[in-house]
Amino acid sequence: MTRTLLTATCIAALLVGCTTSNDASADSTVQTGTTASDEASGRPFSTTEITTFDEPWAMTFLPDGRLLVTEKRGRLRLLDVAATGATATSISGVPNVAYGGQGGLGDVVLHPEFASNNLVYLSYAEAGSGNTRGAAVARARLTLDGSGGALSQLQVIWRQVPKLSGQGHYGHRLAFGPDGHLWITSGERQEFTPAQDMASNLGKIVRLNDDGSVPADNPFAKDGGVAAQVWTLGHRNPLGIAFDAQGRLWNHEMGPRGGDELNLVERGANYGYPIVSNGNHYDGRDIPDHDTRPEFNAPRISWTPVISPAGFVIYSGSRFPDWRGDGLIGGLSSKALVRVEFDDGTAREAARYDMGERIREVEQGPDGDIWLLEDGKDGRLLRLTPAS
């Protein structure tokens, strides 16, 4: 399997999605924008650089059009993308994060009724005792003012169980479903077997009420404990989750040595890791493919060589009408924006656009433009508009 521009440290740690540790950068400022004409490359969009962030990980738009961006070191940033020369400000009250490896401040999403309750949800790596760590999800009220804003009444509503050593495979992507439930992807923390252990919520996709309580109709609710949280199991490092227009849930995840996956997430299903995978162990040992064990749900798309997927949105806007209903996935090692077409529960890669840098996050803007965050120090915020 080919992986580009991975450091020796990353390879040794077997961290497909790793990033290097960098000093914090200066405050980000909206630039006048450098627009690249992409006609020669055949890409159906033009790319405008807006600003840069220090190790950005996720973003979400507020109802007023401003943008929230998380940085792995533990800063939540607010940016008015419409104001030339505006400086990104920091939101206070962010919880302490366990920064390092793949850990730090992760996803940010708004409550479906944010306009009335001002609730935001953050995922992050949290330190435990004895040099252990685990993903956590907190919710808080966001108050904005002229100089930035603050989080208050912060409450941790979910944690990975158990906390483990190591700094990889947290997952911790968040999404609210059409029915108002909160969905959380939980990686297996590079420990393999927890993905099949129902005494752990590692290697699972979790479904909760918006306050962190467990819905009574979850598939394993009667089992109690952390098993009650689980919607699906047998996942490795899920770094993208999105609902389509029909209300179906999709997730993508990094495979081991080969075998990145796009899955249709079905109630109570087992996706087989580490018993089956379309990739192999990093030490060369074989993992049986999905087709050898039909009792496990197989991916709708499997990538070898890998794309190292990160960030995921299913497009619903009008600016790119031919893409409506398509999935857009950021590629880390592939340095690409990957477009996926869906057809009644099936999926196929439709196009891959070379972006020249690792793409950490994908988001749809309020007007239907597409926004990307590059990975790492001085990661650029890019706006994609239809090619003229």
Backbone angles phi, psi at 225, to 5 degrees: 60, -155
Q: Count the alpha carbons within 13 Å of 147 in the hemisphere toward its beta carbon.
A: 2
From the list 68, 143, 73, the residue with the least C-alpha distance to 109 is 68
Tens-binned pLDDT, residue by residue, of the chain (388 aa): 332 333 333 333 333 333 333 233 334 555 535 555 454 467 999 999 999 999 999 999 999 999 999 999 999 999 999 988 888 999 999 999 999 999 999 999 999 999 999 999 999 999 999 999 999 999 999 999 877 899 999 999 999 999 999 999 999 999 999 999 999 999 999 999 999 999 999 999 999 999 999 999 999 999 999 999 999 999 999 999 999 999 999 999 999 999 999 999 999 999 999 999 999 999 999 999 999 999 999 999 999 999 999 999 999 999 999 999 999 999 999 999 999 999 999 999 999 999 999 999 999 999 999 999 999 999 999 999 999 8
CATH 2.120.10.30 fits 8-386, yes or no: yes
pLDDT in tens, 302-348: 999 999 999 999 999 999 999 999 999 999 999 999 999 999 999 99
On whether the CB atoms of residues 341 and 10 are closer than 8 A, the answer is no
Question: Full-prediction pTM beyond 0.85?
Answer: yes
Please identify every residue annotated as catalytic.
169
Angstrom distance (rounded) from CA 139 to CA 212: 9
> How wide is the angle at C-alpha 107 spanned by C-alphas 104 and 112, nearest 5°?
150
Instruction: Quote helix, strand, coil % in the chain, to nearest 5.
Output: 5, 45, 50
242: its two tokens: 């999105």
Q: Where are the domains of the chain?
A: 8-386
Report DSSP state, residue 162: S
Angstrom distance (rounded) from CA 234 to CA 144: 40
pLDDT in tens, 36-73: 545 446 799 999 999 999 999 999 999 999 999 999 99
